[in-house]
A = this chain, B = another copy of it.
């Protein structure tokens, strides 16, 4: 049963996704051979996956260090709960330069914010900017010493069981 707005996927679709999320530069011929399909079949499926927004974009991955972004900070943000400003505060957080992830979470902390900056001055400015947002009550920041894994890849991190579920549609 479809529980979401996306089309049902089969094993072949997942195989294609796994491959192109790893390296979108593969040419159709190679992909087709790997999957034992014709080039046009692969082409057809790829188009379908893009149209259905299963594939949302094809993008070049850029090493942040190449641009001097060698500091990552994790900031937990708590808001004044009387205020119904949560929505606005979320928006304000996403708009701050250097911020690359914002989550709205359950628990004593309301937002978790990840940012990437080049130096301590920028780190300071960024935390200041967060504190200044109207409705923000308290913040606590952690400095990241090492990024052991940062994999935006979807299929790559899935277990066999997850893939099976995704194909069956029995989420």
Using known A-B contacts A23-B57, A57-B23, A62-B21, determine if residue A104 contacts B165 with beta carbons closer than 8 Å: no
Are B9 and A72 interface neighbours, CB within 8 A? no
Q: Which of B63, B149, B154 contacts A102 (CB 8 A)?
A: B149
- What's the least CB distance linking A146 to chain B, in Å? 4
Q: In the docked arrangement, what's the CA distance between A147 and B143, Å?
A: 21
Contact with B along A41-76 (1 / 0, CB 8 A): 000000000001111111111111111111010100
- What's the least CB distance linking A149 to chain B, in Å? 4
Which residues of B are found within 8 Å of A97, using beta-carbon distances? 157-159, 161-162
Q: Select from chain B the residue with minimum beta-carbon distance to A22.
A: B59
Are B59 and A17 interface neighbours, CB within 8 A? no
How many residues of A sit at the interface, in one of the four size bands? 35 or more
Q: In the docked arrangement, what's the CA distance between A145 and B158, Å?
A: 20
Q: In the docked arrangement, what's the CA distance between A58 and B153, Å?
A: 12
> A25-B58, A69-B158, A122-B161 known; 11 other A-B pairs, CB under 8 Å?
A4-B65, A6-B63, A23-B59, A55-B61, A56-B61, A63-B154, A98-B158, A100-B152, A103-B146, A103-B147, A104-B146
